[in-house]
Chains A and B, each alone.
Chain A
Amino acid sequence: MQDPQETRLPDCAIAFIDQLIKRIRYRNKVRQEVRQELVGHFEDELGQCPDEQARQEKARQLIQEFGDPKIVASLIRRAKKRCRPVWYRLTIRTIQNAGIFILYFVICMLPLLVGRSTIRIDFVDYINRLVRTSPDESLNARPYYQKAVEILSKDRGWPSLLPSVTWPGDMNDARRMAVAEVLAASGDALEALRQACSRPYYWMEYKLELNQPQGPSAFAAAITSYAQEDFTSYRVLATRMALQALWSAYKGDFNGAMEDAIVLTRFGMHLEGKGALVEQLVGMGIERLGNTCIFTILNNTQVPAPILRKTRQTLEQYYKANERIINLDIEKTLYYEYIQSSFTDDGKGNGRVLWRGLVFVPTRSRWGLVARLITFRLPDRKTIVRTIDTLFDALQRLSEIEPYCAEYEAQLRVISQISQSNIMVGVSAPAIKQTMRLSLRHKTVRRAIVAVLAALEYRQEHGAYPPDLDQLVKAGYLETVPTDPYTGRPFVYRRTESNFLLYSAGEDQKDDGGIPGTDNRGRPRMWADHGDWIFWPWIG
C-alpha cells in the first residue's frame, strides 16, 4: 500500500524509489521498510524547498546523488541480508549446503540412471543347455516323475494322513491298517516312480513365462519358482516310497524293501548335482529319506547277506557316478544374468554400473555405499564379474575339499570376505554355504552307510563283527577304509558286546568318544553341532 506522504513527492522521485526498491529483490517486508525510509528521506530533503519547481529540481538533484539505483539496491540488499539473525542465517546456510549436497548427489546418481543394459545372452536358454544331459529325451526321468505325480495327485488327503516315515512295528494297528490301504492305492504311482528312477538322467526345461514379472530379480525368482512347482509332490511321492520300503521290510520282503530304498537314493541323485539350488536341496532331502529307510530297516530287521551286498554294491556304484552333490552353475548364471541387466555394455565385456547394480558395490555399510557413490568409486562390470568368479571358484573348491584340509578355512574366508562386502552376495552366500554344509553331511552318510552295510554283511558271513575297518578292506568288503570328512581320519569304529559303534566326529571335528549331541530335551540327536554323529547303532 502506498504511503500517503509519497503522494506529495514528485513523480520522478517516486519512480526512482520504485525502481530502486524493485531492484532490491528481497523480502517484501524489508523492501517496504526501506521504501518508507527513502520516501521519508526525500520528503525531508524536499521539505526545505519553497515551491513545486524547486522541489522538482531538488528531487532530480537527489536522484543524481543517489546514483545508479541498481548499485544502491545491490548494496542495500547485501546489508539487509547481513541483518538477518544468526539462527536464520544458519538455517539458510544449512538448507543451501543440503541443497548443494543433494545436487551433487543427484549428479553422482546420474550415471546410474542414464544408460541401458544390453541383453546379449539368453540365460534361460543357457541354463537349459547346462542342465540337459542328453539330446535323447527318452533318457530323461522327468516325464516319468511327472506321471507318478499325476497318478498321485488323484489321491487326495494322503499327506495329512501320514506325516512322517515310521517303522510299521512301532505303529498301532489302526495306523498300520491305514498305511496298508494307502500303499495299496498308490501302487501305480510308486511303479511309475520306480520306472522314473531307472532312467539315467533327469533334466527339466526352464521357462520364463510371459506373465511373470520381468527384470533381474524376477528372473531368479521365476527360475526357482518354476523348478519348485513339482517339488511338494516329489516330497509326498518320496515319503510314500519310503513307507513302502519300510512296509516291505516289515512284511519280510527285504529285497523289495532295499530296492525301494535305493529308488529313493536314485530319485534324490537325479535332482542333485545340477539345476537350481532348491532342486538340489530337495534331491538331498529325498536321498536322506532313502538313507533313513536303509538304516531303519537295518536297525529293525536281519537283512540277509546277499541283499546287503547287493544294496552296498548298488549304492557304491551310484555314489561313484554321482560324486558331485552340489553344482552351483545355475546360481552363478543367475549372478551373470543379474550383472547383464545391471550394467551397461561397452561391447568389450565391460560397462558401467546402473541403478539396480548397486547391490554389487563392495561396501560394509549403507554409508560406505554413499561414500563410494559420492566419490565416484563404483566398480565396473569386469571387476564384479571377477568377484563373482572368485566367489564361485572358492565355493567350487570348497565342495571338492573336506573340512580337515587347511585350505578349507582359507576358502571359507574368501567367501566370507566377499559376502561381507557385497550386498548381493551377502544375501545368497549364507544359503549356498548352508547347502554346502548339508552336502558335506551327505557325503559323510554315504561313506558311513556303505561301511555299516559291509560290517553287517561281514558279521553274517563270519559270525562276528570285524575287529576294525581295515578288516573290511582286507576281506574285500570295502575298497578303502572310509574316512571321516571332518577329521581326515577313518570313521571311529569299535566293537561292543553284541554290536558295533560307527561314528564321525561331526562338525566340531572333535572325537567325543561316541557320545552323540542332544536336542534341547537332552535326547540324542543326529547332526547336532556338538557331540559325535553316530551312524551305528542308528539313532534316527
Chain B
Amino acid sequence: MRFESQLLKGIAPVVVLEILSRGPMYGYQLSQAIQERSRDILTLGRSTLYPLLYNLEAKGLIKGKWQTTDSGRKRRYYSITSRGKLELARQKAQLEELARGLNYVFGFGPMPA
C-alpha cells in the first residue's frame, strides 16, 4: 500500500529510530527491516532513505560508522544514540496516543498487543 508522502514523512523518522533501536544496520538492511517489520505495509522509498538517515544523523539521533565486513566490504552502519532513544520514546508515546484517538474515531477495533 502506498501512503501519502506527507503522512509517511512524519512517521518515517520514528520508524527508522525504532528499527535501529534493535541494533546497528546499514542502509539496505534498514530498508529491508522496515519492510519486514511492517509486513510490507511500510516501504521507505530509496530516494527518501539516505536523506532521512543523514538528517537524523545531523540531529544527533543516530550516528553512522564505517565498518569493514568479513567479506571485505565497507558499510556504513547506523546506530541510535541516547538522544535518539529519548526522542523515540517521546515519539512513540505520541503515536500511541494518536492511534488510540484514531481508534476511537474510526472504530478500528482493539489495538494489537
- Check A79–B74 contact: CB distance below 8 A: no
Residue from B27, B46, B59, B73 whose CB has the most chain A CB atoms within 10 Å: B46
Give every chain B residue within 8 A of A65 (Cβ-Cβ): 45-47
Cβ contacts under 8 Å, B45 to chain A: 65, 67
| Nearest CB in chain A: distance from B9 CB, A | 12
- How far is A5 from B74 in the complex, measured between Cα atoms in Å? 10
Is B51 interfacial (CB 8 A cutoff)? yes
Interface status of B58 (Cβ within 8 A of chain A)? yes
Which residue from chain A places its CB closest to the CB of B43 in the assembled complex? A65
> Within the complex, what minimum Cβ distance (angstroms) separates A20 from chain B?
10
Contact B51 A76 (CB under 8 A): yes
| Inter-chain contact A83/B54, CB cutoff 8 Å | yes
Judge whether A468 is part of the interface by a CB distance below 8 angstroms. Answer: no
Question: Could you tell me the distance between the alpha carbons of A518 and B25 in the complex, rounded to whole angstroms?
Answer: 94
Main secondary structure on B side of the interface with A? helix
* Chain B nearest CB, measured from A55 CB (Å): 15
Confirm or deny: B104 has a beta carbon within 8 angstroms of a beta carbon on chain A: no
Chain B residue nearest in CB terms to A62: B46
- Which positions 32-65 of chain B face chain A at CB distance < 8 Å? 45-48, 50-55, 57-59
Chain A residues within an 8 Å CB radius of B52:
79
> CA of A64 to CA of B28 in the docked complex: distance in angstroms?
16
Is A36 touching B58 in the complex (CB atoms < 8 A)? no
Interface status of A137 (Cβ within 8 A of chain B): no
Interface residues on A, range: 20 to 34
Partner of B47, one of A40, A67, A80, A83: A67
Q: Do B55 and A40 have beta carbons less than 8 Å apart?
A: no
Chain A positions within 8 Å of B48 at CB level: 75
Quick check: B54 and A80 within 8 Å, CB to CB? yes
A68-85 contact mask (Cβ, 8 Å, vs B): 1 or 0 = 100110011011101100
Q: Are B46 and A83 in contact (CB under 8 A)?
A: no
Bound CA span A62–B45, Å: 10
Asked if A188 lies at the interface with its beta carbon under 8 angstroms from chain B, I say no
CA distance A65 to B47 in the complex (A): 7
Q: Please, which residues of chain B bring their CB within 8 A of the CB of A369?
A: none
Q: Does B76 have its Cβ within 8 Å of any Cβ on chain A? A: yes
| Structural contact, A41 and B51, CB atoms closer than 8 A | no
Within 8 A of B (CB), among A74-111: 75-76, 78-80, 82-83
Contact of B46 with A37 in the complex, beta carbons under 8 Å: no
A150 an interface residue at 8 Å Cβ cutoff?
no
State the CA gap A419–B46 with chains docked (Å): 72
Q: Which of B29, B46, B53 contacts A66 (CB 8 A)?
A: B46
CB of B100 to closest CB in A, whole Å:
33
The CA of A37 and the CA of B66, in the complex, are separated in Å by: 10
Q: Say yes or no: B54 contacts A76, CB within 8 Å.
A: yes
In Å, the complex CA distance between A330 and B6 comes to 79
> Do residues B47 and A72 form an inter-chain contact, with CB atoms below 8 A?
yes
B49 nearest CB neighbor, chain A only: A41
CB of B48, distance to nearest CB on chain A (Å): 8
B74 contacts across to A, CB distance below 8 A: 36, 40
**Size range of the interface on B?**
20 to 34
Contact B73 A5 (CB under 8 A): yes
With the chains together, A75 CA to B54 CA distance in Å?
9
The contact of B73 among A40, A45, A62, A78, by CB within 8 Å, is A40
Distance (whole angstroms) from the CB of A4 to the closest CB of chain B: 9
Bound together, the chains give a CA A68 to CA B74 distance in angstroms of: 26
| A66 with B27, Cβ < 8 A, contacts A40-B73, A76-B54, A80-B54 known | no
Whether A71 and B27, one on each chain, are in contact in the complex, defined by CB atoms closer than 8 angstroms, is no
**Are the C-beta atoms of A40 and B51 separated by less than 8 Å?**
no
Quick one: closest A residue to B50, CB to CB?
A76
Q: Is A44 an interface residue (CB 8 A)?
A: yes
> For the complex, is A424 an interface residue (Cβ under 8 Å from B)?
no
The residue of chain A having its C-beta at the shortest distance from the C-beta of B69 within the complex is A40
A33 within 8 A of B: yes
- Separation of A66 and B46 alpha carbons in the complex (Å): 5
A38 at the interface (CB under 8 A from B): yes
- Which B residues touch A45, using CB under 8 A? 28
A45, closest chain B residue (CB)? B28
Residue of B nearest to A5 (CB): B73
Report yes or no: A75 in contact with B28, Cβ–Cβ below 8 A.
no
Contacts of A43 in B (CB 8 A): 73
Cα–Cα, bound, A80→B79 (Å): 17
CB distance from B62 to the nearest CB of A (A): 11
Interchain nearest-CB distance for B79 vs A (Å): 15
- Residues of B close to A44: CB separation below 8 A: 26, 28-29
Q: Closest residue of chain B to A74, judged by CB?
A: B51
**Distance of A475 Cα from B17 Cα, bound (Å):** 116
Given A65-B45, A83-B58, the answer on whether A75 and B51 have CB atoms closer than 8 Å is yes
Chain B interfacial positions (CB closer than 8 Å to A): 26-29, 45-48, 50-55, 57-59, 66, 73-76
Closest 10 CB pairs of A and B: A79-B54, A82-B58, A75-B51, A44-B28, A83-B58, A67-B47, A79-B55, A65-B46, A66-B46, A79-B51
- Sampled A-B contacts (27; CB under 8 Å): A33-B66, A37-B26, A37-B27, A38-B50, A40-B28, A40-B75, A41-B46, A41-B50, A44-B26, A44-B29, A65-B45, A66-B46, A67-B45, A67-B46, A72-B51, A75-B48, A76-B51, A76-B54, A78-B51, A79-B52, A79-B53, A79-B55, A82-B54, A82-B55, A82-B59, A83-B54, A83-B58
10 more A-B contacts (CB under 8 A) besides A41-B27, A44-B26, A79-B55? A40-B73, A40-B76, A43-B73, A65-B46, A67-B46, A76-B50, A76-B51, A78-B51, A79-B50, A79-B52
